[in-house]
Amino acid sequence: MSRSMLRTCLCRLNPPGYNLPLNGTKGTCLEGGTRVAACVRWPAAWPGGRKIENTIGYIDILPTVLDSAGIDPKAGEVPGKPLDGMSLNGLLRGDDEGFKERDWYSYYGQGTEEASLYSFPWKLIVTGAELRKGFTTKHEVRLYRMPEDPLEKDNVASDHLEIVQTMAGKLVTWCDLQQEMLSGEEIKAEAKGFKPPKNWQIQPPTKNGD
């Protein structure tokens, strides 16, 4: 193996889609729409041949890259706006005990709004409009016990109403912190009046597809 390959860090995250046998597809907060396979490789720092079960995601890439380069991920944070992710260097080096599991949020807002919170061992999915304004009886609620039910077949929300209320409160707070998304009709309306900036160019692809 060449020296450059030993020292090169590679990260590959699959896009969401149809992840059989998981339930759901892209555009939902079910596992089939949010959980994807990923692989990383850095022979000089991370021992290979392992399968990691911890909850990690795209928000962790930037802190990990900065940390790998010897840069404190918190050094460039804007006051009041911390990075969403965390460095995975310790976990990927094999220090599983030093990795703290955290609440994991997902959101999809094109068409019917849907948000989810995974807080081990529970996963709550709430479907319905304007969750940022509050959780109501109009919202559809699903609660799954993970990882015992990875295919999300057994909705136990009615058996754990207190857990639902606590997790829904966290979801409302999180949704309120997010940038409000435009609806499909609003996107179409904006597109009709779109004016490109001066000298804006879209380069056609080359024969190689670049």
- Give the start-to-end residue ranges of the domains of the chain: 3-98, 104-179
- CA–chain centroid gap for 193, Å, is 32
Closest CA to 54 of 83, 26, 86, 78: 86
What are the pLDDT digits (tens) for 65-87? Answer: 999 889 998 888 888 888 889 99
User: 134 by DSSP, 3-state: which?
Assistant: coil
pLDDT of residue 170: 94
Domain 104-179 sits in CATH at 3.30.1120.10
From the list 149, 148, 176, 144, the residue with the least C-alpha distance to 163 is 144
In the prediction, which pLDDT does 126 show? 95
Phi, psi of 99 (to 5 degrees): -95, 120
Q: Which of 23, 27, 7, 5 is nearest to 15 (CA)?
A: 27
Q: Helix (H, G, I), strand (E, B), or coil: what is residue 136? A: coil
Q: What CA–CA distance (Å, rounded) separates 168 from 37?
A: 27
From the list 44, 35, 32, 43, the residue with the least C-alpha distance to 13 is 35
Q: What are the tens digits of pLDDT across the range 152-169? A: 999 999 999 999 999 999
